[in-house]
Homo-oligomer: A and B are copies of this chain.
Amino acid sequence: MGYKRFDEKDLEFIYCVIGDHERVLYGENINEEYSHDELSDTVSYPDVVVKVTSTEEVSKIMKYAYDNNIPVTPRGSGTGLVGASVPMEKGIMIDTSLMNHVLELDEENLTITVEPGVLLMELAAYVEEKDFFYPPDPGEKSATIGGNISTNAGGMRAVKYGVTRDYVRGLEVVLPNGTVVNLGGKVVKNSTGYALKDLMIGSEGTLGIITKATLKLLPLPKKAISLLIPFPSLERAIRTVPLIVKSKSIPTAIEFMQREVILDAEKYLGRKFPDSSADAYLLLKFDGNSTEEIENAYDNVAKICLEQGALDIFISDTSEREESIWKARGAFLEAIKGSTTYMDEVDVVVPRNRVNDMVEYIHNLYKEVDVRIKSFGHAGDGNLHAYILRDNLSEEEWNKKMKDAMEKIYGKARELEGQVSGEHGVGYAKKEYLLKSMDPALIEIMAGIKKAFDPKNILNPHKIFQE
């Protein structure tokens, strides 16, 4: 690509910008964690890691990198699953994790303004203490908000509340040439020019570096009740979901899970799940401002589930039980990871009434490919997570089977009018599947957009769709 190789002179400039040299890691001082993310086997070290603390620092470094043609990769807490934050061309890594301050809670506009390194769990705790609610709820609570915005993270409450995109009102962004711009703001409506704020959301750090975000808040619902519903089979459970959607009750979440994943989670957390006797479960959550309101909503859904063969309805109406169920649900990824030697994942999303087809397909795929696959996911919004487990396979067998399984799953998703990624993004690891599924005319337009933001292609190259 003809990038300039980062050298000692460049380091001098970085030291000059970042007075505190402890915030600059160079060469052998770079921890191994900076060479990869949480899951993908995409591995590459940066030449230097800069732990920035201000927009000004980001802007100065970005301008220098632009002028000198040095690649830059932004990184939050590195919890991604597709290698989006791995510096494929080495160069400078901008670590935003020290930009972790809440800047303003604006109660009159129902917004909160934060730096990008604030963790999702910190944000949630901060606003809930003040009786506000930030609805996006991805499983990985130690992700940064900057990372969540960059992947348009979804999570478990999407059925009722939507995804990260729906809660971003404004962004401060450092463009690849170092210019600092503001997109959106605190305004509720906006029809002023192209939707650049929306374009930035989900662009996986390829168009600009987010240095500030103004997020929309809601009043905290006063009550939440979850229903854990055992079914005799996965098929029965999943087939019930479109009927729930059609019934016009709106749960906050509709998750599905199988016994084997629950057993993994019990083992991982060292505590029992309320029930693990059935083959498959739906886990539903309802929230609202009064018990009556919630009961009205779930009564009808419970009836539908029983009609469809549910074995029981466990109602969790204490916050302890509530927490124990959702904690187990939140641990699924780590629990499955702990049950094998290595794994890779797919994050496909299909229309909600095709979830059953997709889940059944994945469930039976092991017969065809002879590899263990575990899945769980957001039945209510069509977003499924399937994990292909390496176990004791040899390198060669693993690569063959993993690729085979992936191709079959993404192929099926296309057939069902689904998309490659519901919430984890494409990054580096899923690029070939995006290229295979997306109209070449749109790839070309995306390349044109990338060029409009980053004519020298120095910001996070080789990601999403770029060779």
- Which residues from B are CB-within-8-Å of A203? 194-195
A425 at the interface (CB under 8 A from B): yes
User: Which chain A residues numbered 161 to 204 have a C-beta less than 8 Å away from chain B?
Assistant: 162-163, 165-166, 175, 179, 181-183, 185-196, 198-199, 201-203
Tell me the bound Cα distance from A442 to B444 in angstroms.
Answer: 21
How distant is A443 from chain B, measured CB to nearest CB, in Å?
Answer: 8
A381-B446 CB under 8 A given contacts A202-B195, A290-B296: no
Tell me the bound Cα distance from A235 to B442 in angstroms.
Answer: 50
Do residues A189 and B422 form an inter-chain contact, with CB atoms below 8 A? yes
- Which residues from B are CB-within-8-Å of A441? 175, 179, 181
A420 at the interface (CB under 8 A from B): yes
Do residues A163 and B187 form an inter-chain contact, with CB atoms below 8 A? no
Do residues A190 and B452 form an inter-chain contact, with CB atoms below 8 A? no
Do residues A421 and B181 form an inter-chain contact, with CB atoms below 8 A? no
Interface size class of A (residues with CB under 8 A): 35 or more
Residues of A within 8 A of B (CB): 106-110, 131, 151-154, 158-159, 162-163, 165-166, 175, 179, 181-183, 185-196, 198-199, 201-203, 207, 218-219, 242, 245-246, 248-250, 289-290, 292-293, 296, 347, 349-353, 378, 381-383, 417-426, 434, 437-439, 441-442, 444-449, 451-453, 464-465
Q: How many copies does the complex hold?
A: 2
18 extra interface residue pairs, beta carbon distance < 8 Å, beyond A193-B426, A194-B446: A107-B246, A108-B246, A152-B190, A152-B191, A154-B191, A175-B441, A181-B441, A185-B351, A185-B417, A187-B419, A188-B352, A191-B422, A191-B426, A192-B434, A195-B195, A448-B449, A448-B453, A451-B452
